[in-house]
Amino acid sequence: MRYLILQDMYDLIIIGSGVAGMTAGIYASRREMKTLIIGKELGGQLIWAGDIENYPGFERISSFDLINKIKQQTVKLGVEFKDSEIQRIKRLNDGTFVLYTNKEEFKAKTVIVAMGLSPRRLAIPGEVELSGKGVSYCANCDGPFYRDKTVAVVGGGNAALDAAEVLSKIAKEVYLIHRRDAFRGFETLVDLIKNKANIKILFNTEIKNILGTERVEKIKVFDNLSKKDSVVTVDAVFIEVGRIAATDLVADFVERSQRHQIIANQMMETKTPGLFAAGDVIDSEFKQISIATGSATIAALSAYQYLQLKKKE
């Protein structure tokens, strides 16, 4: 395959144009680093959110507005953006990197992997259409919007159980829907859920359709034992069936957890000198916007420090 070879050497290339990637770009640019962000989905997972109430400085802001504000700030500081997808990475003998898209190659002294995670979806009618309009993948982010409402949580692992427990303190009623006959979470968490008066557990049940016009109004569920369909009125659906880390791209350069998330130290360094990681893609317990921006700040400053030390060698 022929590539369009771009001769410019970047101080830093960031893989991923989500909040973490753009934050890293801001801090790198402030250190006078020539920086390029390459990503296909501006805003990352944030585009699936509706309004946000837990980002410092904003009592309430739409995900669209927050993404655009961060991008405007990033561009104003001189960071370049490329709407593309990295397909291969090579590290040269001098420690620099070559990153390949399907048509171009880019050179960089350092790289930050900030590609985030993708929520595992149910792939059912209404899920995409009502995303951000009652369909959510983050109870901590969107739960407060549904105070005294009726909501559903889909899943059977710790994430779903934790979401149901959090929502039970906010919502009037919580339906916890699991396709199997037992949960896969911690026993203490399972016991806690079963003792919550406003959590109704639907075992052996699958959600088949999410219904609504402007917002979520109802869900259609199927009982695997009785083989019957039924409709449940809810104001929101929280899908907690796991997240996917698509990190095969950097598998040769990093250590990964069982969930394929990248293992990085406190400086966001990976096992490969000059290659850093930030945001939800790193192996950490909690996934929040503020945590992603914090790790991205560390990664960018670490990349700058790495280059300064290289100059002294």
- Residue 303 C-beta-side C-alpha neighbours within 13 Å: 35
Which residue(s) pair with 151 in the sheet? 174, 236
- DSSP-assigned letter for residue 144: G
Radius of gyration of the chain (CA): 21
Considering 65, 83, 94, 142, which one is annotated as catalytic? 142
Residue 310, helix vs strand vs coil: helix
Active site residue 142: yes
Considering 141, 162, 235, 280, which one is annotated as catalytic? 141
For residues 122 and 99, give the distance between their C-alpha atoms in angstroms, rounded to a whole number. Answer: 33
Question: How do 150-154 and 173-177 pair as beta strands?
Answer: parallel
Q: Are 56 and 290 in contact (CB under 8 A)?
A: yes
For residues 222 and 208, give the distance between their C-alpha atoms in angstroms, rounded to a whole number. Answer: 7
Active site residue 283: no
Residue 114, helix vs strand vs coil: coil
For residues 41 and 167, give the distance between their C-alpha atoms in angstroms, rounded to a whole number. Answer: 29
- Catalytically annotated residues: 138, 141-142
